[in-house]
């Protein structure tokens, strides 16, 4: 049994922390909205504390899954943050999707305190977190620093791979989101085309999903896109955040990602229409059919 902490009990963090508790670990939790932390403890055991510093003091590994760069900075560096309660040898694993620059900065700040920082964004969405089958891509100073982390993350993931030093995990997550953005737009266009051509889009998807067009998005979202159902885990506003990081990084490293930039514009349009909390597959609603 390990002493672990979890900061951030949203739609991703809560089930991830639950898997850690179910695996028999001693879990201490913090959430900005304290009532959510108390509800989590009532359902899963462990204990809730009022600050990230107290999570750090009670843990050997602290996991984060919060909103964005600013949230990570506040939880780690702010008053009552993780570093205020940190002890030498503590490992901080950040599952938030952030900029790569933020990950590098956090690794540097943590190192000064004798703390190891691992950027470890995930892919698989809410269903992946609930079913314990997330894909985790991480950046860390060396493989040895992950020895204590790997078996813990195994409680809610099916893949955990180090791709380089600090920031490498976030860069890999940007690649993940770039690939997804183009796929969802293409799937949206295909569904709209099928409908406008007088075909049964469900029948078309059934056929082409058995061929080269098959993808996770087609298997898991095409039918609900056709039926206008968009109440799933990964919201438009989160994709806007993620793709904004990717576009900024592309401009910095000289990459050209015109399709991603265009799709980011489409998602921003959905946000302007009040669809920020809808699933990313709601991209199809932009197209006449």
Active site residues: 173
Task: Determine the angle formed by the axes of helices 168-196 and 216-226, rounding to 10 degrees.
Answer: 40
Q: Within a 10 A sphere around the Cβ of 125, how many other Cβ atoms?
A: 19
For the chain, strand residue ranges (E) read 3-7, 26-30, 47-48, 61-64, 91-94, 116-119, 122-123, 134-138, 157-162
What is each CA distance from 215 to 19, 174, 179, in whole angstroms? 27, 18, 11
The three-state secondary structure class of 235 is strand
Tokens of 206: 């059934």
DSSP assigned state of 63: E
Closest of 209, 162, 166, 172 to residue 187, by C-alpha: 209
Tokens of 44: 């899963």
Bridging pattern class, strands 47-48 and 61-64: unpaired
Pairwise CA distance, residues 17 & 28, whole Å: 9
Closest of 244, 231, 242 to residue 278, by C-alpha: 231
């Amino acid at each position: 049994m390990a002493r672990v902490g979890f900061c951030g009990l949203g739609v991703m963090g809560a089930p991830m922390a639950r898997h850690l508790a179910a695996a028999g670990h001693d879990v201490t939790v913090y959430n900005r909205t304290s009532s959510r932390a108390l509800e989590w403890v009532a359902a899963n055991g462990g204990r809730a504390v009022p600050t990230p510093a107290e999570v750090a003091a009670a843990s050997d590994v602290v996991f984060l899954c919060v909103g964005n760069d600013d949230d990570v900075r506040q939880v780690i560096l702010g008053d009552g943050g993780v570093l205020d309660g940190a002890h030498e040898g503590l490992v901080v694993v950040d599952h938030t999707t952030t900029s790569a620059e933020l990950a590098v900065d956090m690794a540097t700040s943590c190192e000064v305190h004798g703390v190891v920082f691992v950027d470890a964004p995930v892919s698989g969405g809410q269903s992946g977190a609930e079913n314990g089958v997330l894909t985790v891509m991480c950046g860390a100073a060396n493989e040895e620093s992950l020895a204590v982390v790997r078996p813990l993350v195994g409680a809610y993931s099916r893949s955990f791979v180090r791709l380089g030093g600090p920031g490498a995990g976030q860069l890999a997550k940007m690649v993940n989101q770039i690939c997804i953005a183009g796929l969802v737009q293409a799937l949206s266009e295909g569904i709209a085309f099928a409908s406008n051509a007088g075909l049964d889009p469900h029948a078309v998807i059934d056929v082409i999903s058995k061929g080269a067009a098959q993808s996770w998005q087609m298997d898991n979202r095409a039918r609900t896109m056709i039926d206008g159902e968009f109440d799933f885990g990964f919201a438009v506003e989160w994709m806007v955040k993620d793709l904004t990081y990717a576009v900024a990084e592309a401009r910095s490293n000289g990459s050209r990602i015109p399709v991603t930039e265009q799709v980011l514009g489409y998602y921003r349009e959905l946000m302007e229409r009040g669809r920020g909390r809808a699933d990313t597959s709601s991209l199809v609603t932009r197209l006449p059919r």
